[in-house]
Structure 1
Amino acid sequence: MTCPLSAPTIPHLLAAAAASFADLPAIEEGAQRLSYRQLDAARRQAARALLALGLEQGERVALWAPNAWEWIVAATALQSVGAVLVPLNTRMKGAEAGLVLRESGASLLFVIGEFLGTDYPALLDHEDLPDLRQRIILRGERDGCLGWETFLTLAEGVPESELAERESALSEDDLCDLLFTSGTTGKPKGVMTAHGQNLRLVRDWSEMVGLREGDRYLIVNPFFHSFGYKAGWLAALMRGCCILPQQVFDVPVLLERIARERVTVLPGPPTLYQSLLAHPQRDAHDLSSLRVAVTGAAAVPVEMVRRMRSELGFQTIVTAYGLTETCGFVTICRPGDDAETVATTSGRAFPGIEVRCADEQGRAVPAGQPGEVQVRGYNLMRGYFNNPEATAEAIDAEGWLHTGDVGVLDERGYLRITDRLKDMFINGGFNVYPAEIEQAILGYPGVAQAAVIGIPDERLGEVAMAFLLPAPGQRIDLDAFLAWCRERMANYKAPRRAMLLDALPLNAAGKVTKDALRKMAQSPA
């Protein structure tokens, strides 16, 4: 039997983990308890049910749900039959999800019935989805959709041998997922990555952060994001950890769960740790089980790292940097790095991965000099789905991925991200792309032109602010406009402020100067 650390594909990993970790707990969520053997049996049953539905290798299957045990079963099942996972952000509105479903050509959709008061299947009622032939409700029932239990019974008509044949046809070079990133064009791009490259990265990541068999891993990061998926449940299953899914970031609930469930591993954005440190009831909870923290995606104060060690008891604290286009992994700090290194850098490159900072001519700049962060190695995506032009723009002839981030490498090879060539900003750990918001805003009645920037926000890091140029003779009510945005955009994208302008500031090339907008944003309202 293959060792989990050397499995070539995700279904091979699940089978190897079942053999290696057997009756150890794999997932605990509420009353639901699954051992590694039970998880593998559930995966195989769901995979056979997918075969009963006629799912072919290479088809795309979308998953739209919060962190839950069924998410992992559904994802590993579809990957077991050679299908490609397309995770959907639970904050998306119907139009946003519909666009990704059309762009990916997804033929099946696993979807939660209701979450935080939203009826997810109903969000797609008015979407044209010609490729989508089946919907499966993970929790709840809906007309025209298969319930989870009903779906699983379909496995009875498919022998194990048929699944074994499909699994044996899979190789490390087959695609395992298609994660969509909005980019700066405003149109989502599907990032294609394969089984083998992801598993190699997950093996190295889990070794560097020190995941251990029996660790209790509370996963707050969403499963639809590479942090919660690849550095989350996939890494946990490779190392024999127990996955503790958490659907909502709620500090009192986190404190209670850490104490009650003896959590040892707790990655998350800096906001998570700042919230734990600031909570007035923190000392009432026993947090002594905590050992490993992994963060990134925003500035990290040095003092916060020190307090995480002294007050929260973390032994290992690392920061990391990655992109969807790199399977989520590029650089990472190493255990033992001092607080200043952890707080002010994103670590150094993973083994087998090259990172450089380059000037506008594509030449590497010396240590200590800023340049565009470029990455080369086995972790690079297989390209953007159905978009060879964008792929060629992103990866040059020498194999370097141009990230659009500006950074500095020190003499040790540690990377510090200093700026973004593109205008992307980060809201509560989520990447936000102004061009996507600008494109959506142009659908608002009376708007002739729009520009969006990120402005500082104490709680979320940055939030969107929109600048609007009304069409001639049109009046725009800003409160009504902001409400319209909230109804149509995920909350991390929706502008929190807006300003009307007589003209947008332009440079000599006719492009909006975002620096001028930032100065306007700082002026009194």
Structure 2
Amino acid sequence: MAKLSYTSTPRSAPYIYKTFVDTLRELAEDEPDRTAFVFYDLQHVRSSLTRKELLDKATESAKKFVKMGVVKGTHVGVCMNNSFEMLILQTGLMMAGGIAFYFHTNLKDGSDVINMLNALKGELLIMDASPGDVNWNILDQIWPTRQERCSIIPSLKTIMFNGNWDPEIQSTSRKNVAAFFAEDIPEGVTFPQIQPEDTLVYLCTSGSTGVPKVVMYTHYSTMNWTKQTNARLGITGHSVWFCERTFSWAVGYPRTYLTDGTTRVFVDTRMTVAGKDVGFVADIIEKESCDAVTLPGYMAVDLTGRPELGPKFKNVKMIQLLGERVLKASVDKLQDILKCNQIMSYYGTTEHGAISSYITSVNSGDFEDGIVGEPLDGLEMKVVDDSGLVVPVGTSGELLTRATWRFAGYWGLTDQPSGGAVDALGWFHTGDIGHMRSDGNFVIDGRLREMVSIGSMKLFPWSIEKILKTLPGVATAFAVGVPDKRLKEVICACVVPKPESGLTAEDLEKFCSEKFVHESTGPVVGLKPKYHVLLDSVPLLASGKVNRRKIAEIAKEKLGLSAA
């Protein structure tokens, strides 16, 4: 009988049954003067907080939130860039029992903010804004300063803005964060009792499927999957971890400190997304003696173009790659430049948290594109076909995973909180297509929604993109499906040219004609792209992942195609 694509990794330690509020206090009592967080702002100014300073400042904020009317379960919208203000406020909210939900502004009329606050019945909004800037104008759309009630968002009671403050425009509906911090600390405040299964935070999915879903996280789930991630990364309370991911995402949320007391070094994420400060970021990693570094895809690309920065990673023991399907070529370049033997391909989802990892210097199998390794302790993984049956090793299918710490559900869904993503046996359906190798390592082949359907054939774009990237003058390349009346979809090659390369769409079309056969041998259609489009830049989701849906929309618009 063929070996089935299922494996599990036993736990080596008991489950953790406490809250982040408990560990926040324990850490400050254990080593009050140990550095908890280090932050660099856009002006490259360094700030730091010790464990006791964080606890004290968060406790003060929590008391003020309670006085403001925050109770256990109050929904609070947070729209901020990484900063100490954001860290202190969200930690204080946690202690007061409030539940933060995070979002980003994309529309100048504020309609996306309004929709999110109404959907989650937000009572408090905390937002980066200063009088006269874009976000301030959005606040004016939401709640004009002279009004005492918000008719657009009936649940909203107060807005806090983090930015420049003019006392003359202060109103009962708007509070400045700096003024909030300066208020007298109220006496006689009682905090609610928080349980491990209580909701900790709401985190949105990346939106790669079109509409972000709001995932409910508990203290128990977040702490337990974080503990397993830390163990696999080799992170302890004495580690210094660089992670620039925003606090509003699962990877960036300050859970690593709140689980193990790990010193976290972070920056305003706008610094790294822009790609202009890669040298300064490398300086930070060297100066702070970081021994663990998390690199989203765009930072890895930035570093591979700067080999002179390699020596600045001399203290790094582990580099964690995440957010996108990891390619062997990227790992080889990083190992050559950074001289770091251990590079981890890390796999997880917003709903499930950490799932698996593959470490280049530990695993015996050969690294290949998309490898995500073996499950973390206490977790099961399997691959199933369309009917739900486990497939033999080496056969592709949907990847399912199961653990006690999966998400509590999606906000707003009552009859079926998981929205069908979790089946009756507790298996979470990731929506990723992959296979299990004979050595027990799993490989991600792609997303169900990334598959291109050409006639009766379904294919992933990776093999096409690999060829497109070999064309001289191409910075990066994508293959997406665009509408076709006969075949439902056909392939469009979309490339971003290197600056001053002079690459044209005609050059791309000629290259494809030289590299791909027009008709494939056998009963399948060929992989040759039918259309060829040049992109000015790569559209990204708020998470930093490539927005393939947007690339397909741009291609359709440029080509003048409508839905099939």
Shorter-chain TM-score bucket reads: 0.7 to 0.9
Quickly say closer, same or farther: Cα 1:191–1:80, change in 2 above 3 A: same
- C-alpha offsets along residues 319-356 of structure 1, whole Å, 9 cap, x if unaligned? 12111111x22222256235843754112222222221
Report the counterpart of residue 406 of structure 1 in structure 2. Answer: 433
Q: What is the alpha-carbon distance in structure 2 between the residues aligned to residue 458 and residue 339 of structure 1?
A: 34
Structure 1 residue 154 displacement after superposition: 4.6
Query: For the structure 1 residues 68 and 374, does the alpha-carbon distance in structure 2 shift closer, same or farther, using more than 3 Å as the test?
Result: same
Query: What is the CA-CA distance between 1:57 and the residue it aligns to?
Result: 0.6
Match of 1:120 in 2: 135
Contact 1:290–1:313 (CA<8 Å) still a contact in 2? no
Q: Provide the C-alpha distance between the structure 1 equivalents of 2:22 and 2:494, rounded to a whole number of angstroms.
A: 45
SS of equivalent to 2:154: coil
Give the whole-Å Cα distance in 2 for the aligned partners of 1:382 and 1:53. Answer: 28
Pairing 1:87–2:102 present: yes
Corresponding residue of 2:252: 228
What's 1:471 paired with? none
DSSP 3-state at the match of 1:125 = helix
Distance 1:147 1:299, change over 3 A: same
Match of 1:329 in 2: 354
Change in Cα spacing, 1:42 to 1:340, as seen in structure 2 (3 Å) is farther
Match of 2:326 among 294, 297, 300: 300
1:373-388 equivalences under 5 Å are 373-387=399-413, 388=415
User: Contact 1:84/1:175 (CA < 8 Å) preserved in 2?
Assistant: yes
Larger displacement relative to structure 2 (98-107 or 334-343): 334-343
Is the Cα contact below 8 Å between 1:319 and 1:342 reproduced in 2? no
Equivalent residue in structure 1 for 2:563, among 473, 479, 504: 504
- Alignment of 1:273 with 2:283, yes or no, is no
CA positional deviation for 1:458: 5.6
User: Counterparts of 2:421 and 2:104 in 1: how far apart (Å)?
Assistant: 24
Does residue 80 of structure 2 align to residue 65 of structure 1? Answer: yes
Instruction: Structure 2: state its 5+ residue gaps.
Output: 1-14, 40-44, 143-151, 452-460, 463-479, 484-488, 499-534
> Is the partner of 2:319 in helix, strand or coil?
strand
CA distance in 2, matches of 1:290, 1:368: 34
Is 1:416 the equivalent of 2:443?
Answer: yes
For the 8 Å contact 2:163–2:176, the answer to whether it is kept is yes
Asked if 2 retains the 8 angstrom alpha-carbon contact of 1:408 and 1:418, the reply is yes
Shift of 1:377: 1.9
C-alpha displacement of 1:368: 1.0
Q: Deviations over 1:212-234 (max 9, x none)?
A: 334332222222111111xxx32
1:397-437 CA-partner distances (Å, limit 9, x unpaired) = 222222221111223432211122124999xxxxxxx9xxx
Contact in 2 for aligned 1:329/1:379 (Cα 8 Å): no
Alignment of 1:468-483 (within 5 A): none
Cα distance in 2 for residues equivalent to 1:291 and 1:87 = 32
Say whether the 8 Å CA contact 2:408–2:417 is kept in structure 1.
Answer: no
Residue number in structure 2 paired with 1:508 = none
Structure 2: distance between partners of 1:18 and 1:452 = 58
> Of the candidates 353, 356, 362, which is equivalent to residue 382 of structure 2?
356
- Alignment partner of 2:185: what SS? helix
Task: Determine which of 247, 255, 259 is the counterpart of 1:238.
Answer: 259
Aligned CA distance change for structure 1 residues 490 and 224 (closer, same or farther; 3 Å): closer
Instruction: Give the drift of 1:396.
Output: 1.8
2:54 to 14, 21, 39: 39
Counterpart of 2:37?
Answer: 27
* 8 Å Cα contact 2:410-2:419 kept in structure 1: no
Instruction: Work out whether residues 111 and 121 of structure 1, in 8 Å CA contact, stay in contact via their aligned partners in 2.
Output: no
More helix by share: 1
> Cα–Cα, structure 1 residues 219 and 108, in superposed 2: closer, same or farther, change >3 Å?
same
Give the secondary-structure state (helix, strand or coil) at the position aligned to 1:408.
strand
| Pairwise CA distance, 1:384 | 1.1
Identity of aligned residues (%): 21
1:146 aligns with 175
Following TM superposition, by how much is the alpha carbon of 1:363 offset from its aligned partner in structure 2, in angstroms? 1.1
TM-score (norm 1): 0.75
Contact 1:95 1:124 in 2 (8 A): no
Show the counterpart of 1:16: 26
Q: Give a deviation string over 1:63-116, Cα, whole Å, max 9, x none.
A: 21111122221112111122212122366763333322221112112222269x
Change (3 A) 1:398 1:272: same
Which deviations, in whole Å up to 9, do the C-alpha atoms of 1:480-524 show, x marking residues without a partner? Answer: xx99xx9xx99975655423546532xxxxxxxxxxxxxxxxxxx
Matched, 1:78 2:131: no
Residues 502 and 361 of structure 1, relative CA distance in 2, 3 Å threshold: closer
The 1:154/1:378 distance shift into structure 2, 3 A limit, reads: farther
Structure scoring higher RCO (CA < 8 A, sep ≥ 6) equals 2
| Matched-pair contact (CA < 8 Å) for 1:330–1:375 | yes
Structure 1 residues 261 and 114, CA, compared in 2 at 3 Å: closer, same or farther?
Answer: farther
Gap change, CA 1:339 and 1:79, over 3 Å in 2 = farther
Does structure 1 conserve the Cα–Cα contact (< 8 Å) formed by 2:18 and 2:196? yes
Among 46, 53, 70, the residue aligned to 1:55: 70
SS at match of 1:321: strand
Q: Distance in 2 between matches of 1:342 and 1:228?
A: 27
Moved more, 99-108 or 238-247: 238-247
* Match among 147, 160, 182 for residue 136 of structure 1: 160
AA matched with 1:305: V
Q: Does the C-alpha gap of structure 1 residues 369 and 294 become closer, same or farther in structure 2, counting only changes over 3 Å?
A: same
Judge conservation of contact 2:105–2:113 (CA < 8 Å) in 1.
no
CA distance in 2, matches of 1:26, 1:7: 22
2:29/2:52 contact within 8 Å kept: yes
* Contact preservation (8 Å) 1:374, 1:403: yes
Matches of 2:303 and 2:561, distance apart in 1: 45
Q: Distance in 2 between matches of 1:459 and 1:228?
A: 31
Using the alignment, how far apart are the partners of 1:51 and 1:459 within structure 2?
54
Label 1:500 to 1:271 Cα distance change in 2 as closer, same or farther (>3 A).
Answer: closer
Count, aligned residues: 445
SS at match of 1:391: coil
Greater gyration radius = 2
Partner of 1:444: none
Letter in 2 for 1:254: V
Instruction: Supply the distance in 1 between the matched residues of 2:79 and 2:330 (Cα, whole angstroms).
Output: 34
For 1:183 and 1:389, how far apart are their aligned partners in 2?
20
Distance change in 2, residues 1:301/1:404 (3 Å) = closer
Structure 1 residues 112-169: Cα deviation after superposition (integer angstroms, max 9, x where no partner): 2269x96324324324322221122234337442122322345622436x13xx1xx1
Identify the match of residue 106 of structure 1 among 122, 125, 136.
122
Q: Structure 2 CA distance, aligned partners of 1:28 and 1:452?
A: 49
Q: TM-score when scaled to structure 2?
A: 0.70
Q: Distance in 2 between matches of 1:140 and 1:363?
A: 58
Contact 1:52–1:155 at 8 Å: present in 2 too? no
Distance of 1:456 and 1:347 partners within structure 2: 30
- For 2:205 and 2:491, locate their aligned partners in 1 and report how far apart those are by CA, in whole Å: 18
